Structure 1
Amino acid sequence: MCTWVPQWQAINFDQKFNEEHSTSPCEFFEIATNLGASTLSLNAIFPSNLYSIDELAHYFYLIDQMANGHGLICDLEPIPMWGIKTIEEAWKIIQMSGSKYGGLVFDSVHFIRSHSSLNMLDVVPAERIHSVQISDGLLQLGDNVSLEEDCFFRKWPGDGEFPLIEMLQYLQNKGALTELCAEVFSFENKGKSLEQIAYLSYYSIEKLLRKAKIDKNELNNSITLKKF
């Protein structure tokens, strides 16, 4: 959901992008309820510094209360090209809001591009890391490559330079590896069939777990290795 603050629109994408992300909270709650969802991800697609951290904590509190009334839990996904850039900032907002259940979405590409470190997660309780999204890429952006461009040229897990094994081992040792999936936005996938995408989504993660010496059968009982 993007419409959880009054001025929610992105300025680094075109109007069509904003139109496609304009689903209102009430519409979002109805869709989530019909799908049987238990959590929702809040994206801060507005420009950085538009709101103070106190204001963001207030808006998170309001949407979190609304979501809880529909049996839903709100998560923040920090994304460095927008208004909430780092895990550290997102967790501070959740804490300041007083939310009892709100948590984080951990996304590997946003984690790397925000220059975050795993020790930033030390202060976050394991049960507040609700979802882990994995993709791969080059550690350093190429010359004149923007965050916006890089976001749509992700690589499948294992095909890049990200320290994904270290990330997964940290999350497993913390007890936070409970929902895991590949999220690979890339124009390179354009010619692939749905079956190919489904195969890559599942088996790239399975292969990564093997390399990390993580037995998916021994993970937390609540783990969901998403298979489409």
Structure 2
Amino acid sequence: MDRLPETCLWPACVKTQPFDRQLDAAVAGGFDAIAVGGLTHDALKSQGMTGADIRALTEGKGVRLGHYDGFTDWAPVRFDDSIPPLAQSVFDFSTEAVLAICADLGLHSVGATGAYRPGRFSVNELADGFAAFCEQADRVGLWVDLEFIPFWGIPDLPAAWDIVEASGARNAGVLLDTWHFCRGNADLEYLRNLPTHAISAVQVAGGLTPSSGMSLIDECLTLRTAPGHGDLDITAVLGLLARQETIRSIGPEVFSDALDAEPAESVGKQMAEGLSYALEIMGRSHGD
């Protein structure tokens, strides 16, 4: 990784804050960009803001809008009924709606995942759907990052890379979340042998040890920490990510009950410190 990627604050870190305060967190942490999802876009539009207004608010604070956060309509189904209702609302946006939001806000990338039952579809079915969406995205200059999530349809890095590679898409790569990797199939040897152009985006987070009987999804949504804190050792995966040569974006995605109660600026600074910790292990520093 010869250059520092765009640094992105993912909304999970400040999910209880209104959008303008999310921007304040990004500013406090010195992030280049912030991701945004369809629910936030629609809420701001319902308040009377235009896309130009949203872009002006963001750019006026010295931040840019980067990723669309949470797209699933590339797959045969947007989500299974077993997906929690809040997640269903996040993912319930059509391909056409997401592309329109990206155009409205001037986004450069789409963060995609699969919210279906593991094993429900073949790799060929998924690769065909992903390729079709990537072709649409490419026509309007969008990059697509495919994220694996251990308790949903794309459970691990091999599954995500199989889809991306089979799709043949020239504008796509894998989004690796360190929490998802370490709390799922943490196959370091697979990551070590992965082509150096495979990972295009990274989300960083540590984690706390869950209580007995806690589900993985509940752990994911409440017990993450900034990198360098907590009990989850992410140093090995970060060290191997330094081998990846085409990472375009990196930033924290920390779902945390503790952070939800803190001021936006405090969260932004903590996330910046965590990102600096991660980048140092990867051989870079925040601000290079």
TM-score range relative to shorter protein: 0.7 to 0.9
Q: How does 1:95-106 map to 2 (within 5 A)?
A: 95-106=165-176
**How far apart, CA to CA, are the structure 2 residues paired with 1:27 and 1:49?**
27
Same amino acid, percent of matched pairs: 25
* 1:75 paired to 2:140: no
Which amino acid is the alignment partner of residue 39 of structure 1? S
What stretches of structure 2 of length at least 5 have no aligned partner? 1-70
1:151 aligned counterpart, secondary structure: helix
What stretches of structure 1 of length at least 5 have no aligned partner? 220-228
> What TM-score, normalized by structure 2, do the two folds share?
0.68
CA RMSD for the aligned pairs?
Answer: 2.3
**How far apart, CA to CA, are the structure 2 residues paired with 1:11 and 1:112?**
27
For residue 60 of structure 2, what is the aligned residue in structure 1? none
**How far apart, CA to CA, are the structure 2 residues paired with 1:183 and 1:70?**
27
**How far apart, CA to CA, are the structure 2 residues paired with 1:57 and 1:177?**
22
User: Structure 1 pair 17/92, CA: closer, same or farther in 2 (3 Å)?
Assistant: closer
User: Larger % of strand: which?
Assistant: 2
Structure 1 residue 162: Cα displacement: 2.7
**How far apart, CA to CA, are the structure 1 residues paired with 2:103 and 2:191?**
30
For residue 150 of structure 1, what is the aligned residue in structure 2? 219
**Where do 4+ consecutive residues of structure 1 move more than 4 Å?**
none
> What TM-score, normalized by structure 1, do the two folds share?
0.85
* Larger relative contact order (Cα-Cα within 8 Å, sequence gap ≥ 6): 2
For residue 189 of structure 1, what is the aligned residue in structure 2? 259
CA contact (8 A) 2:196 2:245 kept: yes
For residue 66 of structure 1, what is the aligned residue in structure 2? 136
**How far apart, CA to CA, are the structure 1 residues paired with 2:192 and 2:239?**
14
**How far apart, CA to CA, are the structure 1 residues paired with 2:282 and 2:195?**
23
Count of residue pairs the alignment pairs up: 217
Q: For 1:133-158, what per-residue CA distance to the aligned partner results, in whole angstroms no more than 9, with x for missing partners? A: 111114x6542111110111211211
**How far apart, CA to CA, are the structure 2 residues paired with 1:41 and 1:181?**
13
CA contact (8 A) 2:108 2:141 kept: yes
CA contact (8 A) 1:168 1:177 kept: no
